[in-house]
Amino acid sequence: MSQLDSSAADTAATADVDLYDFGLFDPAVQQCPHAYYAKMQQEAPVFAAATPGAELYLITRYDDVVDVVRDTDTFSSQFDTSSHMSSELAKRMADLYRSEGGYPPVRTMLTADPPAHTRFRRLISKAFTPKVISDLEPTIRDITTGLVDEMLAATADGSSLDFVEAFAVPLPVTVIAKALNVPDDRLADFKRWSDASIAGIGTDISIEERLDAEREVIEFQKYFAQELESRQTSPQDDLLTDLLNARIDRDTDGIDDVDPLTMAEMLSIIQQLLVAGNETTTKMLTEMMRLLGEHPGEWQHLREDPERARSIVEETLRISTPVQGMFRVVRRDTTVAGVDIPAGARVVLMYSAANRDSGVFDEPQSFCPERDGATDHLAFGRGIHYCVGAALARLEGKVALEELARRLSSFELDAANTFEYHPSFMLRGLKRLDVSLTAA
């Protein structure tokens, strides 16, 4: 078992935190919430967190999270963040989409329940079959080796670089862009649209900041709407054409209809694939590099045995959990861990807390790639909403590690690193990670 890593060291002593000091949007808490989550597991496994508009019930124990995920009759995925917006923001957003010709949000995969979710999921799963993912490996490896070449050239004079900007962002962005047939000269726009899509998730931003982000989303919609329209007359062998030709079974008054996806539905699916396909993988890759930098022995073991890449990816997912949690809406009065939760309440399944539950994982704050049950983590969720892109993220992590270990004899985390995380309680990732590289 590895020694306690510095990124988790401050989670060891829950006695140092007081749940009365916990604030979901408190920047200090968001930088390292794990001690608070551990305290909740001990004293309040279903914790009512005060937020603007209403309480959120945070569910932190592993078994409770799994039970809730499985009970789709009681806990719905049809959460609507707009219901907790201020009336001013809701009105201005509606006006913005109307005036700019955007497509207001619709329910597809992430925010849909069966049977609608089942139909969307079945459609998208065709784009992520084991063969499709396996066929992407040469492309991922080519992109990875190219990025490593660029990093080594940039640091040939002994300087350091930001691993996030140089590697962790461009790798998954380029991979998912190729899957969506986005040309290379639009990659910067692709990343910008992705950032805008998550700007309001788990953060407390101003109305103007939120509206600015939505303008970027509308720009994204217009680009892909035009691409989808072009596929009607000029179909291609790509996911966009597949979406255009897909049919969703709908049962209306006992009559089965087969309808094409609406433009709003297709854009919603593409937006979810965009975010899920790069934001979370960027955060995983960055945290993986940090953990290995803090545990140079694990790096050397990887160089000696590249097969360890898979276990390092799994342990990184467990201990870092880029998607920290996910919302559910309570359909009917219920009880979780002895706590009564009323119908209509919103709960957050805290995957990050569950992945450090000492009742499930030995020494959960320690980075231990060879631990038993390494794949039992909930970083990709569980049940019907299990991440459709999990296999792709794992493959990108594995290939990245293999190529980095092959090309670098060692690397060091710069002493100047502040390890500052993006201010979100839902999506957790480092803003930058400065590293010095030594070529093999």
- pLDDT tens digits, one per residue of 226-239: 999 999 999 988 88
Tokens representing residue 196 in the block: 């805008």
Q: Is 75 helix (H, G, I), strand (E, B) or coil?
A: strand
CB 273 within 8 A of CB 180: yes
pLDDT of residue 15: 64
**Residue 2: DSSP 8-state:** P
Domains of the chain by residue range: 9-439
DSSP characters over 199-249: TTSS----HHHHHHHHHHHHHHHHHHHHHHHHHHHS--SSHHHHHHH-EEE
Collapse the DSSP code of 83 into the 3-class scheme (helix H, G, I; strand E, B; otherwise coil) and give the result.
Answer: helix
Q: Which residues of 184-203 are buried (b: 16+ CB within 10 A; e: fewer)?
A: eeebeebbebbbbbbbbebb
H helix or E strand, kind and range, residue 361? none
Q: Give the 3-state secondary structure of residue 161.
A: strand
Domain 9-439 has CATH 3.30.70.330: no
The 10 Å Cβ neighbour count of residue 150 is 14
pLDDT at 376: 96
On whether the CB atoms of residues 164 and 421 are closer than 8 A, the answer is no
Whole-angstrom distance, CA of residue 175 vs CA of residue 139: 8
3-state secondary structure of 82: helix
Q: Could you tell me which residues are beta bridge partners of residue 329?
A: 76, 346
**In the prediction, which pLDDT does 251 show?**
57
Contact partners, residue 437, CB within 8 Å, separation at least 6: 151, 152, 155, 160, 161, 408, 411
Model confidence over 215-227: pLDDT tens digits? 999 999 999 999 9
User: 295, 293, 338, 385: which is closest to 78 by C-alpha?
Assistant: 385
Question: For 298-323, what is each residue's pLDDT tens digit?
Answer: 999 999 999 999 999 999 999 999 99
| Contact predicate 180/239, CB 8 Å | yes
- CB-CB contact of 309 with 397 (8 Å): yes
Higher-pLDDT residue of 39, 11: 39
Q: What is the mean pLDDT of residues 121-135?
A: 82
H or E element at residue 336: strand 334-336
CA angle 129, 171, 400 (to 5 degrees): 80
Average pLDDT in the 327-346 region?
A: 96
- Distance from C-alpha of 112 to C-alpha of 77, rounded to nearest angstrom: 6
Burial class (CB in 10 A: 0-12, 13-18, 19+), 179: buried
Q: Which residue has the tokens 């916990």?
A: 22
72 backbone dihedrals φ, ψ, rounded to 5°? -75, -15
State the pLDDT at residue 84: 57
What are the structure tokens assigned to 336, written together? 């979780």
How many Å apart are CA 118 and CA 429, to the nearest integer? 30
Residues 1-34: b if buried by 16+ CB within 10 A, e if exposed? ebebbebbeebeebeebeeeebbbbeeebbebbb
Taking residues 136-154, what's their average pLDDT? 96
pLDDT digits (tens, 9 = 90+) for 348-404: 999 999 999 999 999 999 999 999 998 999 999 999 999 888 999 999 999 999 999
233 vs 248: CA distance, rounded Å: 21
